[in-house]
Amino acid sequence: MWLPNIDLSGDTGPKYKALVEAIITDIEAGRLRHDVRMPTHRELAYRLHVSVQTVSAAYKEVERQGYLRSERRRGTFVQARLTDRASTFILDNRQPDLIDLSIVRTAYTDFHNDLSRQIHSRLAEETHHNWMESCRPVAGFEYHREIGSKWLESMGISAELPNILITNGAAQGVFTALATVVQPDDVVLTESLTDHGVIGTASILRFKLGALPTDDEGILPEAFERECRARHIRALVVTPIYTNPTNCLMGLERRKQIAEIAEHYGVYVIEDDVYRPLLEQNLPPITSFLPRLGFHVSSLTKIVMPGLRTGFLIVPQHLSIRASSVLRVTGWMGTPLMAEIGARWIADGTVDQAVTVQRALMRERQTLVAEILGDAVVRHHPTSLSAWVRIPHHWQEEWFASELRKNGVAVTISDPFMTVKVPRPNAIRICVGGAVDTPSLHHGLMQIRHTMEQMPGVHAFDVMY
């Protein structure tokens, strides 16, 4: 049985904090490895001569930081660090020998490459770049925000100019919104399987992340209200269009219900709405019903091209100064060059053209997903950038993804998206955008189907059974 190399008998501070530090140190050092079962609360308390409550408090804090997971009737297990879990299955660098279906990103074709070359050529020919002369105002140059405001308005999203901040993509927008309203130990709710950036932010800002169950439309209103009645909830982070990784799409009535509950209990709603331009129907943002509680996040990254990291964060009017100050201390203003390109492309219609191209490509690729994987597809949409796919019960996610990797295909398992105490769904996320062409995608999907039809190797079988 693992025991920490500490003596708590003479510790003058809170014993549970010393135990927290010891557990995390041993996990980081590799002395406690992924999936190792921890001693029970009672066993460890007896060995260390401390109370069961001390061990319980320590386990709870380490679990909150993402290093442990508890499973009902099985115990507490070491969880690989979020960065390790993400980098294992979400590729940081493109590998030429792999069909990369692991990262949600827009398709990048010759059309997109030509756009990039043309804009850089035009910029190089200009004699003066006034947008490179200053790194303020922090919220972004006014004319960039004006163009962004008109673009957002064309999608039914209205905001006063002082309430719009330009960010380096949606991730910075979500982080800025959370840092504006959340304090350590506040409770923030999100989908039970959610973007791994939100999970990482919980560790940095030290808030408590709560998981809400979902269906095809996303967060269940009754579960949200139940949590609001039971404890004080500071904020809700929600992606109502093409939820990452499960591809939920929230309808109008559900949006109104979520907004009504948030309004009633005074919960801030941070809406990650990056996929809105890809959606071919008009659904109002949840935050449109919450002028004093809503943060709306959008970006060009997921609809034009991956390197165009320009986002727009709309904040409640009374928090515009505070949000700008958070942006200032965490990254200053959004990169002016990217904002300039984004503004020009919005103004001349290039963004709309890129969205049209992206929708057509996704329709073609999502049709392939449905044809090849059939009933295994849990949830996908004609213009979404990914699909949520169930794998057969005789496979575990890691073994399935590992087998695919051997055969030249990278996918993402559920681990990077799991909030605390969420059971594994035995599903994978398949991303159909990226640099992959349609023939390569077809080959990758056929490899996935072929692997589903196989039994795992003996080594994997022994682990499962």
pLDDT in tens, 249-293: 999 999 999 999 999 999 999 999 999 999 998 899 999 999 999
Supply 204's token pair: 């940095």
- So what's the pLDDT on residue 12? 63
Burial 245-259 (b: 16+ CB within 10 A, else e): bbbbbbeeebbebbb
Q: How confident is the model at residue 41, as a pLDDT?
A: 93
φ, ψ of residue 390 to 5 degrees: the values are -85, 140
Q: Which uninterrupted H or E stretch holds 197?
A: helix 196-205
pTM of this structure: 0.81
Listed in sequence order, the residues at least 6 apart from 383 whose beta carbon sits closer than 8 Å to its beta carbon are 278, 279, 280, 358, 359, 362, 363, 366
Rg of the chain over Cα atoms, rounded to whole angstroms, equals 23
Task: Summarize pLDDT for 218-238 with one digit per residue, the tens.
Answer: 999 999 999 999 999 999 999
- Walk along the chain (465 residues) in steps of 10 and give the mean pLDDT of each run: 80 81 82 86 91 91 81 81 52 68 91 94 90 87 95 92 95 96 94 90 88 96 97 97 96 98 98 96 95 96 94 96 94 92 96 96 96 96 96 91 92 85 86 85 95 81 39
Q: How many CA atoms lie within 13 A of 410 on its CB side?
A: 21
Q: What's the pLDDT at 461?
A: 44
What residue type is 459 in one-letter code?
H
> What is the rounded CA–CA span in Å between residue 248 and residue 239?
8
User: What is the total residue count of the chain?
Assistant: 465
The rounded distance, in Å, linking the Cα atoms of 135 and 42 is: 56
Q: Which residues contact 457 (CB under 8 A, 6 or more apart)?
A: 399, 403
DSSP element (H, E) containing 218:
strand 218-219
Q: What type of residue is 355?
A: V
- Residue 71: its pLDDT value, please? 80
